[in-house]
């Protein structure tokens, strides 16, 4: 779920943004605490959200990435800028062929048939 400050709600709604946001799908914060009655689902919920955002944003490269990505206080805008800068400099990356990973298939693999994103820029 996303997160935001209660003080920003009026401005966001006036701008036509976050219209579906509510306590059910958003961690709502004041300046000093989480306002949701149930609190956070995990002690590190904010970090989990940011990490998943980065994974999703980097998946827009159009191919699996082999590399190291570190971010401090990152967000969608920074992730996009990093990916744009990387892809705009062909000397900064190389397409490689890799052996398919060998693993034992289990019950969790049933819903994970997608091996590569079906979207993204052409980087060939």
Task: List the catalytic residues.
Answer: 76
In a 3-state reduction of DSSP, which class is residue 11? Answer: helix
Whether the CA torsion 58, 61, 65, 68 is positive or negative: it is negative
What counts of helices (H) and strands (E) characterise the chain? 3, 2
Q: Which tokens is 52 given?
A: 């998943």
**In this structure, what is the dihedral angle of CA atoms 52, 58, 62, 66, given to the nearest 10 degrees?**
-100
**Partner residues linked to 26 by β-bridges:** 2
DSSP 7: G
């Amino acid at each position: 779920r996303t997160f935001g400050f209660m003080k920003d709600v009026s401005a966001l709604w006036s701008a036509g943004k976050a219209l579906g946001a509510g306590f059910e799908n958003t961690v709502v914060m004041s300046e000093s605490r989480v306002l949701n009655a149930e609190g956070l689902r995990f002690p590190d919920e904010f970090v989990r959200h940011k990490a998943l955002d980065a994974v999703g944003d980097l998946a827009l490269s159009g191919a699996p990435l082999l590399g190291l990505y570190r971010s401090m206080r990152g967000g969608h805008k920074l992730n996009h800028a990093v990916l744009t800068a990387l892809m705009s400099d062909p000397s900064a990356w190389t397409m490689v062929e890799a052996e398919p990973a060998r693993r034992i298939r289990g019950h969790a693999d049933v819903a994970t048939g997608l091996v590569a994103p079906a979207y993204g820029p052409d980087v060939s």
